[in-house]
Structure 1
Amino acid sequence: MDDDNLLDSHPDLMDPEWRKHAQTDAWLGAKKDRKQFRKQQMRSARRPRRRWWIFAVFVLILGVTTAAIVYVGRRPAPVAGPPNPTQVAQFAHVDLARPYDGTPAQNWPKGLDGITSPAAAPVGAFKAEAVADAYAKTRQAITAAHLDPAVLFAHDPKAFLALFAPDQREQLAPRLAAKPAKDQAGFDSYLTEIADGYHLLDAGPRTFGTLTARPGEKPGELAVDAKYVISYAFDNVHPETLTSPNEIVSFLRVDETYVVAAGSRVAKSSQGLWLDGGQSATSSVGCAAFREGFLAPGYANPPAGPSAGDQDAPGYYDPKYPVPTIDDCH
């Protein structure tokens, strides 16, 4: 008898109950296999979707990061802060086309426009028109003393003298005509005269200050207190050697009082404009020229030149502070 017949005739296989259980187990096993097969198919179907979701998130993050980098790259550079109003940068790039950069004068108006006054109004017995006239005369005097090319370069004081009352001219003329003497100028100088051999840049002098009218000490006198700073930018043939704007920018700080005398109680020869005293100080100037009554730039000093003045004192650059009592060259 062959093996197949022996297997078919096995007693267990001939038992109907056993056959029933065997068929049931076979059906359940096949069902379990089918479920597992479907799960595997479902996993296989889901895996690509998960990869696509991860890829989409990656693309989104990459896009946001790129946009942020582009925005930062295109964002305007931070705006430089305003210049220090009370100090000149000790070490800074010097550009002759913009000589006042890095100095308190960086944003000051060119010429006399930086010296302002309130709207003219009555002061004591003087009407608004008289106050406006006093402001105008004071501006003319400041211009003639410190901004007029005839005084700056030709050292000619005639236009300045012509602005004053006859009696005042008589007092001033001998002083202005006298040859400057060593150590007799500086604070007491009435005019700004550029030392020979030096030239100002086209940026021109700049000013910052105020005029304030008040009653004078005597009847018929209207006083104008002038508090101001004037900056001068000098040319230099070797700008690449400069290390700070204080080598080419000089400052003149002045507090002074002008008086307009008028009325029947004032002698005719004394009627008009008077200079009634004042004080001044300089910063970043050539000391040798200064001692002889002339203005020269700071680079005129020897490399180890004197620097006795307190150059951080705010009064050098801001007229709301007192005029410094220590000067660059003293």
Structure 2
Amino acid sequence: MPPEDHPDRDGGTPSVSDEQWAELVRQAEAGGAGAPKEPSARARMVTARLRAQDEEAARAQGAGRRFGRKPAEPWTPDGWRTGPAWQEMNGRRRRRRRLVGTLGFVAVLAALVIAMRPSLLTDHLPGGGGSADTTPLSAGTAPSEASGADPATVDEPFRGSPALSWADGAEGIEVPEAKAVGGMSRGEVEQALRATRQLLVAANLDPATLRGEKPQEALDLLDPLQKGERARLERSIADPSEKQDPLMMFSRFDPDETRVVGDVVKTSGWMTFEAGRSGSVEVHADYTFVYPLVRAGGGEEVARTIVRRKLTTALYDPERFIATRGKLSVVSAQQNVGNTSCESEDGFLHPSFPSDSSAPSPTGPEVDPYDREEWQPDGACGTVTRT
């Protein structure tokens, strides 16, 4: 036999495996038939190596117990049985798609939730904040008088109203302290906050807007690159309808019917901000405005209309988005209105005065328009408990 083929030579190819030699050794020790009476050098070497491996494993296991380590678990490759079940993963994706679909439906209703690009729509909608609630509440039969409260007068238009202690106009719209978020600098966040404040003032407090004029200052704050939004608002002012209603963004009264008493509108609410998609910041505003009104032809009788608005705006980095630097995009807008006609679609708020008797009786539930704890859902025309 050539030296390189001998099973007991280093580098040779053994004709019998280690396990087979070990079995022969065990048979020899037990006196089994056919076993060699004295194991060869190869058998003794294999036996010694196997014993040494067993002793080493026993020592390692004992050390693991002493130091509190758990024995290693056997590795099993991920598969359709052992890995994350594909059915469950698919279910999670399906739930996300359903959420996006729901938000898309709400955006259609709102007509104000418009993204600059279709791919950005779901990224900029806040969870549950994209609906278009426009719940008008009729005054019914003069709730202030029915409750025995002192009626408002031209000299004291907020008498008997919780708004009496609220801030006057723009003083009630306070801007929180800015900080860098969403990849936007502190200065950019502050710009978004101040621009949102300007938009609220121009849309809800500016005398020209309240008189039903075109709210040009408010429109100029909006990004012309936000697809269709500014043009849609301008069309709603020029040709208002149920689906194209400027009241979704602006507080407007018919100058031939009513006018605001004095120059004070009461305001209460809050403003916050958070990071949007990387390269943007979103500002959330929730404010209630109380308007004291008299008839355009004169008189001493005063009515009050209460408008609560929820508005979310966004400021985008033009280096990352299709956007105009410093201009706001409207993410969502909602409103609740207390004391206005439920049937009108002319783009104006129409308050009911205490002496009015021809107004149709509302059929919806009673609602306190000053209650800022709950948001009134969209639905039937309700009855305000007070104005």
Fold in common (TM above 0.5): yes
Change (3 A) 1:327 1:255: farther
Partner of 1:291: 345
Partner of 1:321: 374
Instruction: State the 1:208 CA deviation.
Output: 0.7
Any idea what SS the aligned residue of 1:196 has? coil
Any idea what SS the aligned residue of 2:294 has? coil
Partner of 1:221: 280
Partner of 1:258: 313
The residue type paired with residue 293 of structure 1 is G
The residue type paired with residue 225 of structure 1 is H
> In the alignment, does 2:244 pair up with 1:190?
no
In 2: Cα distance, 1:174 partner to 1:158 partner: 14
In 2: Cα distance, 1:181 partner to 1:126 partner: 37
- For residues 129-148 of structure 1, the aligned pairs below 5 Å read 129-148=187-206
In 2: Cα distance, 1:145 partner to 1:114 partner: 15
The answer on whether the counterparts of 2:247 and 2:348 sit within 8 Å (CA) in structure 1 is: no
The answer on whether the counterparts of 1:283 and 1:328 sit within 8 Å (CA) in structure 2 is: no
In 1: Cα distance, 2:380 partner to 2:239 partner: 19
- For residues 117-128 of structure 1, the aligned pairs below 5 Å read 117-128=175-186
Partner of 2:337: 282
Instruction: State the 1:118 CA deviation.
Output: 2.8
Superposition RMSD in Å: 2.9
Change (3 A) 1:183 1:204: same
The residue type paired with residue 177 of structure 2 is A
Partner of 1:209: 269
Change (3 A) 1:163 1:203: closer
- For residues 4-43 of structure 1, the aligned pairs below 5 Å read none
The answer on whether the counterparts of 1:253 and 1:282 sit within 8 Å (CA) in structure 2 is: yes
* TM-score, length basis structure 1: 0.62
Identity of matched residues, %? 24
- For residues 65-80 of structure 1, the aligned pairs below 5 Å read none
Partner of 2:207: 149
Instruction: State the 1:171 CA deviation.
Output: 2.7
In 2: Cα distance, 1:172 partner to 1:268 partner: 13
The residue type paired with residue 172 of structure 2 is G
The answer on whether the counterparts of 2:367 and 2:382 sit within 8 Å (CA) in structure 1 is: no
Instruction: State the 1:109 CA deviation.
Output: 1.2
User: Between Structure 1 and Structure 2, how many residues are aligned?
Assistant: 233
Partner of 1:96: 154
The residue type paired with residue 192 of structure 1 is S
Partner of 1:230: 289
Instruction: State the 1:287 CA deviation.
Output: 4.0
Relative to total residues, which structure has the larger helix share, 1 or 2? Answer: 1
- For residues 293-308 of structure 1, the aligned pairs below 5 Å read 293-299=347-353, 302-308=357-363
The residue type paired with residue 148 of structure 1 is D
Unpaired segments ≥5 residues, structure 1: 1-87
Cα deviation 1:66-118 (Å, max 9, x = unaligned): xxxxxxxxxxxxxxxxxxxxxx7444222221111212211111112212343
Instruction: State the 1:250 CA deviation.
Output: 0.2
Which structure has the greater CA radius of gyration? Answer: 1
Any idea what SS the aligned residue of 2:225 has? helix
Instruction: State the 1:324 CA deviation.
Output: 3.9
Instruction: State the 1:146 CA deviation.
Output: 1.4
Unpaired segments ≥5 residues, structure 2: 1-142
In 1: Cα distance, 2:244 partner to 2:187 partner: 37
